[in-house]
Structure 1
Amino acid sequence: IIVIGSVRCRWSQFKKDHPDWIFDSALNDAELNRLHGKFLTVWEKIGRQICENFNMKFVLHNTPQKAIVEAFHFILMLDASGSMSGGKWRNLIQAVQEFLDRRRSLETQDRITIIVFSDRVDNTFSNEEIYNVDVNQIPYLGGLTSFKVAFTRVNECIIKFKQQVVDNFAIVFMSDGDDEYPEQELNQLVEAHDTVIQRFWTVALNDGELPSTEILKRINERMNGSFYDVTTSHDLIRVYAEVATDY
């Protein structure tokens, strides 16, 4: 994954976007292996002295370390407006399931709040243990899109659960819609809760029906987040898997 400002893209896509760049090494595999052998020989001769000078442990081959994954209270904001009906909604629910499976496999003590929004809001799951979340119980709402009601509920949830055991929040905001910029709600979110909101991602489903991603990008910039521009709902599964392991 390549991060350019607040936009994330795959390495393969980055190379396609820069056809005039030279990405491939001029060396073949055999030449690269020989070069690696030369580097290792040099390190064997001088590495121990360098490590002693800097009070470091000298090794020839690093031992893989198991990553320690921090637990978060994830707030998943899911657009359930009319434009998300049918296959889009099914793919989004599959993406949420993939996200949960990935986080569960890391054996963290995550908490989950799921906020489903259109022009109204529902959060069937509030501060649940990650193992207790059943995606089949996530309701589809229909209706129009209101970012204001969605972020108002986020504020309410953080206020309610701010002093819990897991009080560092990570927000995943997904929408395929457009609405007025929720300035007041975002200002409140940043000013009151900036110290506990550790991560923020925006997933924009831009499949040709979305007039513009400008408002979604503005929201992401205000929250200092990472932005995913997704062109088909099938890609939501991949994106949510990446977010789950983005640590």
Structure 2
Amino acid sequence: MSELSKRKRRRKVRKIRAVLAVTVLTAGILLLAGIFKHLSASSDVEIKESPVENHQVLETTEKETALQIPSWIDKQIIKKDGKSRRGIKLKEVKDVVIHYVGNSGTTAQQNHDFYAGDDSDVSSHFIVGLDGEIIQCIPLDEHSEASNWRNRDSISIEVCHMDETGEFGKKTYKSLVKLVTWLESVYGLDEEHVIRHYDITEKECPKYFVDHEDEWELFKEKVRDYRIKKYTGNK
């Protein structure tokens, strides 16, 4: 075979090999494309199912759970009447507001019964009595009618007192500290969020704590100390 014939033969073999290589490469690409398309279709199915699963979890986690009211609170929720209890839902709680009842010598039960009567358009979530008893009047997820425009984002406590000075007796004071610290633990608040009616409208309420600023600060210190001891475990 001449040298020229050999060269032609080698070129022909190279062309055949090149065609085969292109054919194999093309087949490989098509195969990979088919696999990718199949995987993509599977992914689409999973993505479509995911929002349904997430929605079901969301519905479960957003269900309201009833707050456990301590046994030392006497729960006497007044009926909805469009005045003392309007049934408006609280969206958040920013502060705990302290009031005094203003009627010297009246009991927690007497004040509760007044709120529940037909002639009242005021109320509070809690009343602390002369003997330290605590009555709940309004559910914690609703407005009370005590703190003006702050009804929408606060929990109100009315406190009974023996005389016109508005000073709270020892049993009343002790129960008030206990109640306030419990509410702080429920809503994740500290003493910066324990305020007087006075701090909202400058009304002389609670009178003794308005007339004696030092006693108000001392009260908040006692609340802080009790909160730390009771709810953080630090002695």
Same fold by TM-score, threshold 0.5 exceeded?
no
More RCO (CA 8 Å, sep 6+): 1
Could you say which structure has the larger radius of gyration? Answer: 2
- Which one has a larger percent strand, Structure 1 or Structure 2? 1
TM-score (norm 1): 0.24
